[in-house]
């Protein structure tokens, strides 16, 4: 607020002169020069040269290490995020599991891990766990609280319910677990409309694939991913015809597939091209997430809620048929309030399926419940583990 009483108003109704640099003023003000278009073109050419120099400079100074499990610097990572999904997969997946990035192996049954088929302790219990890292953290904490438990984990990074359901069907005859835990992550619910981790994990793609389910006239419709193991995936990747066929299948049946972010092309070689693709990829993911979830909850018109309810009831039925105790872990992660519980809570209660929902003791509004990477802090996992234990004990008491 200037301490002046002077008013700026005047009644001069002629347009004001444009601002002029003192240098130009000294030269006699703004004048349209005949050579102005040529100077502008010259300037544009120089801008393009500079951008080219920067692009090449980034590629030279921050080359991404090609070894699958190499630890790139933050700057190397920064300029690499926008490479196409296919481009990244091609250097993450090697000829064998040994030279394949561990993140690419995750989510496949043939990931090279040895899983227990029976409890380590003769008096103990084997727990079969299907889900993702949230479920892994909670169940690891549970096994620390109760050392008679042995965990058999079939997980995938951010694995959606369709992956976990399919994994149980594939795994049900291979162990003698008494209890089965199914972790359902709120942020992964939209991926029920996908068949591959590659389509929704653009910056660091997961290769694992799984069926897409949908409920049509009360019956479960299944779209098979056509690839069921890491080895099959590897073979397909190295065979151009098979790879093209797979991409065609994914683009037809995966709602999150986006050719701009997926397909490798010349822009992978350009730092600027990669940055722009990263921006595109983020906007694509935001648009897709917005289609499935808003601040008010999940969009029921997409059909994923009906599918999720069907799958969870059917999973519990199959687990019980196998003589096991089903426990559903409802994970309401950051940004999703209690929306997953809102959609599944009644179904779980009506079908008498034991469940633990994090919204009761770790509300998403309280950021103190979360680590910086989005996972729950250990204290939350402790509570989850206690709740699993309480359900397990109650089940034993009933027996």
Partner 1 sequence: MAFNSIEFLIFLPTVYLLYRLLNLRMQNMMLLAASYLFYGWWDERFLFLIVLSTAIDFSSGIMIDEGKLTRLDRAKASAWTLLSAIAFLGINWQAPDWASKFQNFVGWQYCGYVLLLVIAGNALYPLLSKLPEHRRRGVFLFISMAANLGLLGFFKYCNFFIDSAESVITSMGMHATDFRLDIVLPVGISFYTFQTMSYTIDIYRGHLKPTHRFLDFALFVSFFPQLVAGPIERATHLLPSILHERRIDWEQSSRGCFLILMGLFKKIGVADSVAIAVNSVYLTQGDVTQLDIIVATVLFAIQIYCDFSGYSDIARGCSKIMGIELMTNFKLPYVSRTPSEFWTRWHISLSSWLRDYLYIPLGGNRGNKFMVYRNLSLTMLLGGLWHGAAWNFVLWGAYQGAILCIYRLLGIGVRRAGQEEIGITIKQRILGMLNMIFFFGVTCYGWLLFRAVSFEQIVGFTGQLLTDFGASSMHLTMRKPTLAGMLGVLVLIVYELTEYNLKDTCFYKRFPVPIRAGLYALMIFIIFMGTSNAPVQFIYFQF
Q: Which residues bind partner 1 (CB under 8 A)?
A: 1-5, 7-24, 30-33, 36-37, 39-40, 42-43, 46-47, 49-51, 54, 75, 78, 81-82, 272, 275-276, 278-279, 282-283, 286, 365-368, 372
The least distance separating partner 1 from the CB of residue 54, rounded to whole angstroms, comes to: 5
The least distance separating partner 1 from the CB of residue 304, rounded to whole angstroms, comes to: 22
**Any alpha helices (H) in 127-270, and if so which ranges?**
133-145, 161-171, 230-237, 240-253, 259-262
Residue 349 in contact with residue 360, Cβ under 8 Å? no
Rg, Å, the chain Cα set: 28
The least distance separating partner 1 from the CB of residue 195, rounded to whole angstroms, comes to: 27
Distance CA(392)–CA(354), nearest Å, equals 9
> How crowded is residue 370: how many other Cβ atoms within 10 Å of its Cβ?
16
> How crowded is residue 35: how many other Cβ atoms within 10 Å of its Cβ?
8
Instruction: Give the pair of three-digit tokens for residue 137.
Output: 């953290």
Residue number with CB closer to partner 1 (54 or 394):
54
Say what angle helices 161-171 and 304-321 make with each other, to 10 degrees: 20
Residue 96 in contact with residue 70, Cβ under 8 Å? no
Residue number with CB closer to partner 1 (33 or 352):
33
Residue number with CB closer to partner 1 (76 or 97):
76
The least distance separating partner 1 from the CB of residue 40, rounded to whole angstroms, comes to: 7
The least distance separating partner 1 from the CB of residue 282, rounded to whole angstroms, comes to: 6
The least distance separating partner 1 from the CB of residue 102, rounded to whole angstroms, comes to: 25
Residue number with CB closer to partner 1 (172 or 375):
375
The least distance separating partner 1 from the CB of residue 292, rounded to whole angstroms, comes to: 17
348 exposed, middle or buried (CB, 10 Å; 0-12, 13-18, 19+)? buried
The least distance separating partner 1 from the CB of residue 367, rounded to whole angstroms, comes to: 5
Residue 182 in contact with residue 131, Cβ under 8 Å? yes
Residue number with CB closer to partner 1 (46 or 113):
46
Instruction: Give the pair of three-digit tokens for residue 382.
Output: 């402790």
Residue number with CB closer to partner 1 (37 or 112):
37
Phi and psi at residue 135, to the nearest 5° = -70, -40
Residue number with CB closer to partner 1 (243 or 280):
280
The least distance separating partner 1 from the CB of residue 328, rounded to whole angstroms, comes to: 28
Residue number with CB closer to partner 1 (282 or 395):
282
- CA dihedral in degrees (397, 142, 136, 159; nearest 10)? 30
Residue number with CB closer to partner 1 (5 or 398):
5
The least distance separating partner 1 from the CB of residue 299, rounded to whole angstroms, comes to: 16
Instruction: Give the pair of three-digit tokens for residue 339.
Output: 């929306």
Distance CA(80)–CA(194), nearest Å, equals 25
Q: Please list, residue by residue across 152-185, b when 16 or more beta carbons sit within 10 angstroms of its beta carbon and e when fewer do.
A: bbbbbebbbbbbbbbbbeebbeebebbbbbbbbb
- List CB contacts of 59: < 8 A, sequence separation 6 or more: 269, 270, 271
């Amino acid at each position: 607020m200037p301490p002046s009483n002077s008013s700026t108003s005047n009644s001069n109704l002629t347009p004001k002169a444009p601002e002029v640099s003192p240098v130009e003023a000294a030269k006699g003000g703004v004048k349209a020069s005949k050579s102005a278009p040529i100077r502008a073109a010259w300037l544009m050419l120089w801008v393009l040269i500079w951008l080219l120099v920067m692009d090449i400079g980034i590629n030279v100074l921050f080359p991404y290490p090609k070894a699958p499990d190499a630890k790139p610097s933050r700057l190397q990572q920064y300029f690499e995020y926008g490479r196409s999904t296919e481009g990244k997969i091609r250097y993450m997946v090697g000829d064998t599991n040994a030279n394949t990035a561990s993140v690419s192996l995750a989510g496949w049954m043939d990931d090279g891990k040895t899983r227990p088929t029976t409890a380590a302790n003769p008096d103990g219990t084997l727990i079969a766990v299907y889900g993702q890292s949230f479920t892994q953290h909670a169940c690891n904490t549970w096994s620390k609280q109760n050392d008679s438990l042995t965990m058999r984990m079939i997980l995938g990074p951010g694995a959606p319910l369709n992956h976990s359901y399919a994994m149980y069907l594939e795994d049900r005859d291979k162990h003698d677990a008494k209890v089965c835990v199914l972790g359902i992550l709120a942020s992964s619910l939209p991926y029920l409309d996908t068949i591959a981790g590659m389509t929704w994990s653009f910056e660091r793609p997961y290769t694992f694939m799984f069926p897409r389910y949908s409920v049509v006239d009360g019956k479960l419709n299944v779209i098979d991913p056509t690839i069921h193991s890491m080895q099959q995936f590897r073979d397909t990747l190295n065979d151009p015809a098979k790879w093209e066929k797979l991409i065609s299948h994914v683009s037809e049946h995966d709602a999150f597939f986006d050719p701009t972010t997926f397909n490798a092309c010349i822009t992978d070689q350009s730092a600027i091209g990669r940055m722009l693709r990263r921006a595109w990829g983020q906007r694509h993911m935001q648009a897709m997430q917005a289609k499935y979830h808003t601040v008010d909850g999940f969009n029921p018109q997409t059909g994923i809620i009906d599918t999720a309810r069907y799958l969870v009831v059917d999973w519990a039925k199959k687990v019980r048929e196998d003589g096991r105790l089903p426990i559903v872990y409802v994970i309401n992660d950051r940004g999703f309030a209690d929306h997953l519980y809102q959609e599944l809570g009644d179904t779980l209660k009506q079908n008498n399926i034991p469940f633990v929902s994090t919204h009761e003791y770790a509300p998403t509004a309280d950021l103190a419940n979360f680590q910086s990477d989005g996972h729950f802090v250990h204290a939350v996992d402790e509570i989850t583990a206690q709740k699993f234990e309480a359900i397990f004990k109650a089940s034993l008491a009933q027996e």
